[in-house]
Amino acid sequence: MKRYTKAVVAVVAIAVLSLSACGRGGDNASGGSGGGGSKELDIALVSKGFQHQFWQAVKKGAEEKAKELGVKMTFDGPASETEVDAQLQMLQAAIERGPDAIGYAALDPEACVPLLDQAKTSKIPVVEFDAGCNSEVPVTICKTDSKTAGALAAEHMAGLIGKKGKVAIVGHSQINSTGVERRDGFVEKMKSDYPDIQIVDIQYGDGDHIKSADIAKAMLASHSDLAGLYGTNEGSAIGIVDAVNELGLKPGQVKVVGFDSGQAQIDAIKSGVMAGAITQDPLGIGRCTIESAVAAVKGTSQEKVQDTGSYWYDKTNVEDPKISPLLYQ
């Protein structure tokens, strides 16, 4: 863990510990265990970000389920998925507020551990969504099986380039679980099933499309025979698309496979610049998170992992009624 993150975690942990004895004492204590009678449940969600359309779709799904179940919900997240300290402060604020349950998507799987311990001390049940913390405190996680999704991206990339050639990866994180698993699922599938495909480079653009575009352009300059590029999230994929366009490459000259959705990726697929992408079900993740949080308050037993699915889309099925609802725009 970086030194500055350790310092923030220490301060946050001390602050929360000082509040844990009083923040949910007396009448408030019953809220965390579901003993509040007919009181409207209060669920606090702390997301990994706000800037990508994916998170807005997660928020929408959570709002829909909260309205259906008659619970109050808040949704917070940092402006960028690199802002670990800002996210920890949001998690601290949620614990201090003392909601009935917390939903959390971890940017740093280690930095969150002390705070989740404090949530447990404060008797606030925790569920996770999208990416987990290295903690036994959360009762369940609603997420895409990211390794399976990464392997699905590899299968389609292999088919697009004739099962041989050089490819590279523009990742969005080498810390949080989604970035690691989407990368590893892709790499492991290539190594096990496609020995004639060589992964020549893996670099990380933090999900920022400008930074990712610069990385993709450098990769293309270093490997003139590059057959394919894989971007592990919305920002990474759009960065690759921008690089291809800025370099004046013909659509399909380099096979581009993305992850997530959004209007820019849909447009790139329709124009042929991007071959296709893996989409998740962010609305389903949001709904699952609220439903799981309510179940956690009630003490209902749940599966430890709830996979909400992953799907390939391209020109041939982008309008398919089974796929189009998953393409958040």
Pick from 181, 194, 256, 182: nearest CA to 226: 256
pLDDT of residue 212: 98
113-121 helix and 3-23 helix, angle to the nearest 10 degrees: 0
Mean pLDDT of the chain: 90
Cα–Cα distance, 62 to 47 (Å, whole number):
11
Note the pLDDT of residue 21.
Answer: 39
For tokens 């996680």, what's the residue? 141
- In tens, the pLDDT along 130-150 reads 999 999 999 999 999 999 999
In the chain, alpha helices (H) = 3-23, 29-32, 53-69, 84-97, 113-121, 146-160, 177-193, 209-222, 234-246, 263-271, 282-298
pLDDT of residue 176: 87
CA 76/CA 322 separation, integer angstroms: 30
Alpha-carbon distances of 188 from 31, 193, 196, rounded to whole Å: 45, 8, 13
Structure confidence at residue 22 (pLDDT): 41
User: What pLDDT sits at residue 51?
Assistant: 75
Instruction: Quick: pLDDT tens for 200-219.
Output: 999 999 999 999 999 999 99
Whole-angstrom distance, CA of residue 31 vs CA of residue 14? 23
Instruction: Say yes or no to pLDDT of 59 above 50.
Output: yes
Question: Which phi and psi angles does 230 have, rounded to 5°?
Answer: -120, 125
Q: Token pair 């049940």 is at which residue?
A: 125
If we measure between CA atoms, which residue out of 272, 232, 276, 280 comes closest to residue 249?
Answer: 272
Give the pLDDT score at 50: 85
Residue 254 is given by DSSP the state S
Q: Taking a C-beta distance cutoff of 8 angstroms, is the pair 244, 219 a contact?
A: no
Integer Cα distance of 40 and 310 in angstroms: 33
Neighbour count for residue 228 (Cβ, 10 Å): 22
Residue 14: is its pLDDT beyond 60?
Answer: no
pLDDT in tens, 263-295: 999 999 999 999 999 999 999 999 999 999 999
Region 304-323: mean pLDDT is 95
User: What is the number of other CB atoms lying within 10 angstroms of the CB of residue 103?
Assistant: 33
pLDDT at 38: 59
pLDDT at 27 over 70: no
pLDDT of 124 > 70? The answer is yes
β pairing state of 311-314 and 276-279: antiparallel
Mean pLDDT along residues 49-77: 94
Whole-angstrom distance, CA of residue 183 vs CA of residue 162 = 21
329 pLDDT higher than 80: no
